[in-house]
Amino acid sequence: MRLLCVLLLVSALQLQCHGLLLPLTNTLSSLRQTNDTPVHHLLRSSSLRSAARHHRHRAHRSLPPRGHRQLSLPLSPGSDYTLSLSVGPQSAAAPVSLFLDTGSDLVWFPCAPFTCMLCEGKPTPRHSSPLPPPIDSRRVSCASPLCSAAHSSAPPADLCAAAQCPLEDIETDSCGASHACPPLYYAYGDGSLIAHLRRGRVGLAASMAVENFTFACAHTTLGEPVGVAGFGRGPLSLPAQLSPTLSGRFSYCLVAHSFRADRLIRPSPLILGRSPDTARLGTAEPDFVYTPLLHNPKHPYFYSVALEAVSVGGTRIQARPELGYVDRAGNGGMVVDSGTTFTMLPNETYARVAEAFGRAMAAARFVRAERSEAQTGLTPCYYYAASDRAANRGVPPLALHFRGNATVALPRRNYFMGFKSEGRDVGCLMLMNGGDASGEGDGGGGPAGTLGNFQQQGFEVMYDVDAGRVGFARRRCTDLWDSLSRR
């Protein structure tokens, strides 16, 4: 990291001993119509998207057909975070806004000519219009290991055949240099995309760029007009393609928004190459608590961790065993996912958490708001005024306990948020039922749970890939941004 200290960048994008600082923008702050959209509508949209994304992770026990890799993507904006990059030569670089997604490992964006089916009326962030393929980029060869990685590890001979190489070239393994990687078909949620793998210049900051970055140009999508910056553990992810100094660790700190655009005046910091040794702002800043990463043989790009228990007030609820391990088929564990809004728990664990929460709320004389449950897709909901200090004292504390003695005590607004619904003050438990942990109820396997970005607000989340762990530290994210951007 010492070499980084002598490189200076302009504005808030600064490469330093603490890594490369980049701003994340919540989609709420870039979509004008959300200022007038009732909060319960945004909550409903996000709860549906969270459920769809979690179940897509769990949709298939077996590997997808060769060349048809599964990828889960955001279905609609509302509580997602975007990262701005630039593509093309430095003299003619064009900005693109991409969703930050730790649950996938591909960087892609819309390329002209571009057709997006079933996208009518979907709002999009700034800098998300289709661009022509960058003039300095070129198609990736079908013999490239990254082509194989993008096609679910298909062997080069099969890829050469898909690229319509002559038979004699396939037999002599000589077609790679002259034939491009075949188009990729990706399925996700309730849609899909078709893209070509290309290699070219991608800029991260004013004076920081990767010259031979591999990305995908999508020419046809279903239901998704915005690209994605995959931050997963695969070779195609954005962190994996950076220099060794920046690729082994990154962190972000998501500014709390409560589904209100006026809470998002300043950006959320994303730090590439973040060093745990220099992560504290001062003596008052808490240390990270770390939990080890679990290997997922079916989904190696997931950041899977072991959730052992959930505490509601003084009640400690043991988590389903499936949340503590990943088997050979890739089933189990909890995925730390920046692209899912609400945390998803297996049916039994969720039911016990909701029951304990409900008992505590009933003891504090809160009244159920069942209409709000139907409106938001969240349950249980109660009539609750966030400004009422007495009411706040009645809401039980909630904590997540991960392997490695890593306890993450959530701020109240991360699991019980107050909002206005039809003129009344209400609040809902911001956790969701993720279905049967065994997969028997939804026809699939995969991760047993998902840790969503709403529960990650107000924490610096450290993805320490080199050390095989994920860390959590309570932070004032705006203060972290101010401190790092001044250096």
User: Which are the catalytic amino acids?
Assistant: 101, 337
State the CB neighbour count (10 A cutoff) for residue 415.
Answer: 25
Give the containing element (helix H, strand E) for 145. helix 145-150
Measured CA to CA, the distance from residue 323 to residue 309 in angstroms comes to 9
How far from each other are the two terminal CA atoms of the chain, in whole angstroms? 15
Using alpha carbons only, give the angle 435, 438, 443 rounded to the nearest 5 degrees: 70
Measured CA to CA, the distance from residue 448 to residue 345 in angstroms comes to 7
**Strand 81-87 to strand 94-101: parallel, antiparallel, or no bridges (unpaired)?**
antiparallel
Give the containing element (helix H, strand E) for 461. strand 459-464
Give the containing element (helix H, strand E) for 292. strand 289-292
Measured CA to CA, the distance from residue 191 to residue 181 in angstroms comes to 23
Give the containing element (helix H, strand E) for 219. strand 208-222
Decide if 453 contacts 342 (C-beta within 8 A).
Answer: no
State the CB neighbour count (10 A cutoff) for residue 211.
Answer: 11
CA–chain centroid gap for 58, Å, is 16
474-479 long-range Cβ contacts below 8 angstroms, 24+ apart = 474/286, 474/411, 475/253, 475/281, 475/285, 477/253, 477/254, 477/255, 477/256, 477/268, 477/269, 478/255, 478/266, 479/281
309-314 long-range Cβ contacts below 8 angstroms, 24+ apart = 309/401, 310/345, 310/349, 310/353, 310/398, 310/399, 310/400, 310/401, 311/397, 311/398, 311/399, 311/401, 312/353, 312/356, 312/357, 312/360, 312/396, 312/397, 312/398, 313/356, 313/360, 313/396, 313/397
CA-wise closest residue to 292 among 457, 460, 465: 465
Measured CA to CA, the distance from residue 312 to residue 366 in angstroms comes to 16
Measured CA to CA, the distance from residue 276 to residue 481 in angstroms comes to 16
Task: Indicate the SS3 state at residue 442.
Answer: coil
Handedness of CA 122, 125, 131, 136 (dihedral sign): negative
